Structure 1
Amino acid sequence: MENTPLYSIPAKYRKIENLHIVFWLIKDMCWAMLWKPLGLVMIVPTVSVAVLITWQTRKLKAELYHNLAVLFWIIANCYWMVTEFLALPDETRYYAAVPFSIGIVIIAAYYIRVLPAEKTEAMANAG
């Protein structure tokens, strides 16, 4: 048997994450089907649950960084959808790159700075 540590998440958090997937899928289906009113309404629960998930996992650095990146991904995704629904000029959708980029920076910060520091600390505490 492996000595790999188990990672578990509380059931109530898992249910919220699963609900978030449902909201996100409905929002994106509305986008694809051009169901504008429902798509715009679905922004609120999709972003709200992403914020809730991020808040709930704030004490676990790996989860916090990844959930922040997902939150910015959803914000970018919602903005892009709105630009298409409102028939804004094509150039305006490129501003979605801002929150997408913030998400990339957050993930990069985690893997370049936070994770190596945690590994170094764990090795120091083990030895």
Structure 2
Amino acid sequence: MSNQPMYSIPERFRKIENLHIVFWLIKDMSWAMLWKPLGIFMIFPTVSVALLITWQTRHLKAELYHNLAVDFWIFANCYWMATEFLNRDDLRYYTIIPFGIGLVFIAIYYLFILPKEKKAAELEA
């Protein structure tokens, strides 16, 4: 067994994450199959559960920043689906905004927060 620190999350959080995957798959399947009413409906549970996961893990910086990136990925994904359903492909390019914001959260974490946390851990050791 490794002496690496173990990461685990409470079971109730894991259940919510698994539910989120189901919602996201139904939303994307609806998009692929052009089931517009179901696809549009699934935006709400998919986004809601993603935001709940972000809220629940807000005390762990790594989880918070990664989940914020996922939230913006889902917003972009839902917006993109809606533009296709409404035959407004000209508006699809605006997905760059939430996708870009998600990348900014990831960059902030890996460029600033993680190195700071590693340095603090080294000083404690």
TM-score, normalising length: structure 1: 0.97
- Identity score, percent: 72
CA shift at 1:37, angstroms? 0.2
1:75 equivalent in alignment to 2:71: no
Pairs within 5 Å for 1:34-73: 34-73=34-73
Q: Unmatched 5+ residue regions in structure 1? A: none
Shift of 1:2: 1.5
Q: How does 1:80-99 map to 2 (within 5 A)?
A: 80-88=80-88, 90-99=89-98
Shift of 1:125: 1.2
* 2:121 matched residue in structure 1: 122
Moved over 6 A (4+): none
CA distance in 1, matches of 2:2, 2:32: 44
Partner-residue secondary structure (3-state), 2:3:
coil
Aligned residues: 125
Instruction: Give me the whole-angstrom Cα distance separating, in 2, the residues matched to 1:29 and 1:49.
Output: 18
Please report the RMSD computed on the Cα atoms of aligned residues, expressed in angstroms.
0.5
Deviations 1:98-117 (A, max 9, x none): 00000001001000000000
1:29 alignment partner in structure 2: 29
